[in-house]
Structure 1
Amino acid sequence: MLPDLLSVAVPAATTTAAPTRLDPVQLFLDADIVVQAVMAGLILASIWVWAIIVSFSMKMGSIDRRNRAFEERFWQADDIEPLVRSDADLPSRRIASAGIGEWKASTRGGVKDRDGLRQRLSSTLDAAVTNESDTLAEKLNFLATVGSVAPFVGLFGTVWGIMNSFFQIGAQENTSLAVVAPGISEALFATAIGLFAAIPAVIAYNRFSHRVNAFETKLYRFSDRFNASLSRELEAM
């Protein structure tokens, strides 16, 4: 009687309980080396995306506040030269500096072609605004790239993992779900990571693009107002 009880108790004690929830770390560790490489790349891309989101949000907020304060001082100042010659890292200051530089270069020997000077001033200010907006939007290209490419990279990892699962079926000659399920879970996890990287990137890209466009509009208003001031001064000469 006692041996029979022991024979029943031993298997019961050595039986490993089935996992009750997904373990992302274990899924990564159990995945094929190719799927692991895909997951690692997507995780790094996701970290970079969030770093850009945080840094760009702080940068845009700071630039917008400081630039607005600069423009208020600029229009109230009797002499704008000290403001323009300062080393303030502000878009409006650089735009004003470009306009004044063109004005001085074109009026150094006297004004011979007023219409030509107006066109040069307008082109210089517009180019300065475009350069400032391009500089602000430079890092947004990475968000767009991750948003469009990450799902397909994750899908590649999924396809590779499923192919590996079918290979295991053939190698073990066993169609049991216990043979296929782990590989498929690891493969689908790659797609999940791809979406985790892509969704915030797309949302942030759309939001930040709107902010850059709105800020660019403010810069164009500043440059148009400054161009009008220079045109009035040109008429008075």
Structure 2
Amino acid sequence: MSSELSFIDLFLQASLLVQLVMLLLLATSVVSWAFIFQRSKVLKGAQSEMKKFEDKFWSGVDLNRLYQELSARQSVHGMASLFCAGFKEFVRLRKSPSTPADAVMDGTYRAMRIALSREVDSLENRLPFLATAGSISPYIGLFGTVWGIMNAFIALGEVQQATLAMVAPGIAEALIATAMGLFAAIPAVIAYNRFSHQVEKLENHYGNFMEEFSSILHRQSLSQRSDTMQS
């Protein structure tokens, strides 16, 4: 009765190339899980900050006071970053009486678009690695499997009387590469799809806020210019 081979035994008996494939897939899986936990924390934090800022913004707080409060922080992220970028540019352009209202709003909107692009880039950080790991890991594992099975059959051809017991360990150690490829790819694909959807939702919320904030600033600018002309 033959003893069962453990994963470690199959790894040690595999060829050098198959071992390298397994180690590469193991490292890919470890890095993917690290990025998954890190991105999950970042995106949850972004959603929490967005809700807190929206509650404060729509509570009727004075915009100048809100801007000063946010500017005093060491770092501002998410929707608050869009607000600071837009309000700062709005105030700067509005100081020039000769600047048309449309030019003021165009400059304000561009400043918020740049801030939005930076925020989305920050949210999408690490996601390309998850996409790459999810797409190529199965093929790397398949390559290791094909190589291992090829070596098993080559060794089998060198003996006169071949049995299943002789070829089974070689095939088993080769198939582990495919299993490891799937083990690395499946969580990465699931996480990538989930995080991409969350980033898209955040980007839509940011975009809606930009439109609403631009309308508020535009009405404020027209009101102030009207008061100036009347006086």
TM-score range, shorter chain: 0.7 to 0.9
- In 2, the alpha carbon distance for the partners of 1:111 and 1:154 equals 66
1:58 aligns with 2:41: yes
Percent identity (aligned): 39
1:4 aligned partner: none
For the 8 Å contact 1:74–1:83, the answer to whether it is kept is: no
2:228 aligned partner: none
1:202 aligns with 2:185: no
- In 2, the alpha carbon distance for the partners of 1:82 and 1:137 equals 29
- In 2, the alpha carbon distance for the partners of 1:33 and 1:174 equals 26
Shift of 1:48: 1.2
- In 1, the alpha carbon distance for the partners of 2:139 and 2:9 equals 23
Equivalent residue runs for 1:66-105 within 5 Å: 66-76=49-59, 77-78=61-62, 79-87=65-73, 88-105=75-92
Structure 1, gaps ≥5 residues long: 1-16
Q: String of CA shifts for 1:90-146, please: whole Å, max 9, x gaps.
A: 211211121123213322322422222222222222232222112101211111001
Equivalent residue runs for 1:1-237 within 5 Å: 17-20=1-4, 23-76=6-59, 77-78=61-62, 79-87=65-73, 88-236=75-223, 237=225
TM-score, L = length of structure 1: 0.86
TM-score, L = length of structure 2: 0.88
Higher deviation after alignment, 148-157 or 44-53:
44-53
Q: String of CA shifts for 1:51-90, please: whole Å, max 9, x gaps.
A: 1222222222122112311232233322222233132442
For the 8 Å contact 2:147–2:174, the answer to whether it is kept is: yes
Shift of 1:174: 4.1
1:10 aligned partner: none
Secondary structure of 1:109's aligned partner: coil
For the 8 Å contact 2:90–2:105, the answer to whether it is kept is: no
- In 2, the alpha carbon distance for the partners of 1:215 and 1:26 equals 48
For the 8 Å contact 1:84–1:96, the answer to whether it is kept is: no
- In 2, the alpha carbon distance for the partners of 1:67 and 1:114 equals 29
Letter in 2 for 1:81: Y
- In 2, the alpha carbon distance for the partners of 1:128 and 1:220 equals 11
Q: String of CA shifts for 1:169-208, please: whole Å, max 9, x gaps.
A: 2333443222221111111110000001101111111111
For the 8 Å contact 2:49–2:78, the answer to whether it is kept is: no
Which of these two proteins has the greater Rg computed from alpha carbons? 1
Structure 2, gaps ≥5 residues long: 226-231
- In 2, the alpha carbon distance for the partners of 1:118 and 1:46 equals 47
Higher deviation after alignment, 157-166 or 168-177:
168-177
- In 2, the alpha carbon distance for the partners of 1:155 and 1:53 equals 24
- In 2, the alpha carbon distance for the partners of 1:84 and 1:233 equals 21
> What value does the CA root-mean-square deviation take over the aligned residues?
1.7
For the 8 Å contact 2:135–2:185, the answer to whether it is kept is: yes
